[in-house]
Amino acid sequence: MIFLMDLQMMLLDVLYYILRNSLRAVLRPRTKPVDGELVLITGAGGGLGQLFAQEFSKHGAEVVLWDTNTASNERTATLVREMGGKAHTYTVDVTSRQEVYRTAEMVRDDLGRDVTILVNNAGVVAGKRMLDCPDELIERTMKVNCHALFWTVKAFLPQMKANNHGHIVTVASVLGLFSTPCVEDYCASKFAAVGFHESMAHELLAEEVDGVKTTLVCPYIVDTGMFKGCKIRDEVEMILPPLDPQYCVEQAMNAILIDQPLVCIPRLTYLPFLSRALLPWESNVVTYRFMGSDKCMYPFIDTMKNREAPLPITAE
């Protein structure tokens, strides 16, 4: 009897949340203020990280910038300060848990306060076919895109939970929801990032830590140069072009400010995510071929062959 009552309540709750989120898609809910919050952004030296720093500053937040590239990190800080914002820079290799923990303590000591919003944005890709890719590059992708999430969250989540206040943002990718050929390292790391984030979010809810919010950001390919050369079918690219970085960050910010748990950018990318789950494997293969997604990374791999220097650990 109790089981049937719980089942009925669960179904009613499911219906309620479907209706509520349908309305939220049409009627934008009230945004939360982030002025005065201390926001830490990894991979802040360029790409999306730099834009996140500027967007949070526009909303009155104080930003802490982490990147391995000191010069590019300082450029981001300069842009923030020119806007009238407050920025603090630290040169950090997020793949080193000791360095992450040590720098996290340094941030607390230097600023005398806890980080309240963590934006895990750092990301890399090897840019080589799996069988041609040196093992150390594969390991590097996993360390930056996945393992680093554990170290940064372990460094800052305890204080958020203690204060019952905070927000953890994971910048993953639509390639963490569905895959594409020739970037096995990247897809594996982003699938792992999605799994990590969702498990952490469920844990917070199970512990009834209602003041710590989470947002998983899954953008399509962003025009930052990270996947330069990637090419799908021309007719499809007309309706699904690479994302403008500013648009991507603005959409992500919209989701963060309304405590939206998941945002795929653009919304059209929810469709392949659903088709992967609902359609037979062969149906998805046919769709990939039609869109040109089965070989879209070939020109990207060729472009990467011409790059002599390794990619920095920076923004998506």
* Residue 36 DSSP SS3: coil
- Of the candidates 227, 215, 117, 231, the one whose C-alpha atom is nearest the C-alpha of residue 172 is 215
Which candidate in 90, 186, 220, 288 is catalytic?
186
Measured between alpha carbons, how far is 229 from 182 in angstroms, rounded to an integer? 13
DSSP output for 56-117: HHHTT-EEEEEES-HHHHHHHHHHHHHTT--EEEEE--TT-HHHHHHHHHHHHHHHSS---E
Give the whole-angstrom CA distance, residue 57 versus residue 35.
8
- Told to judge if 186 belongs to the known catalytic residues of this protein, a careful annotator would answer yes
Whether 208 and 153 have beta carbons less than 8 Å apart is answered as no
CB 189 within 8 A of CB 145: yes
C-alpha torsion 217→223→225→229, nearest 10: 110
Measured between its terminal Cα atoms, the distance across the chain in Å is: 51
SS3 per residue for 117-179: EEEECEECCCCCCHHHCCHHHHHHHHHHHHHHHHHHHHHHHHHHHHHCCEEEEEECCHHHCCC
Catalytic sites, residue numbers: 186
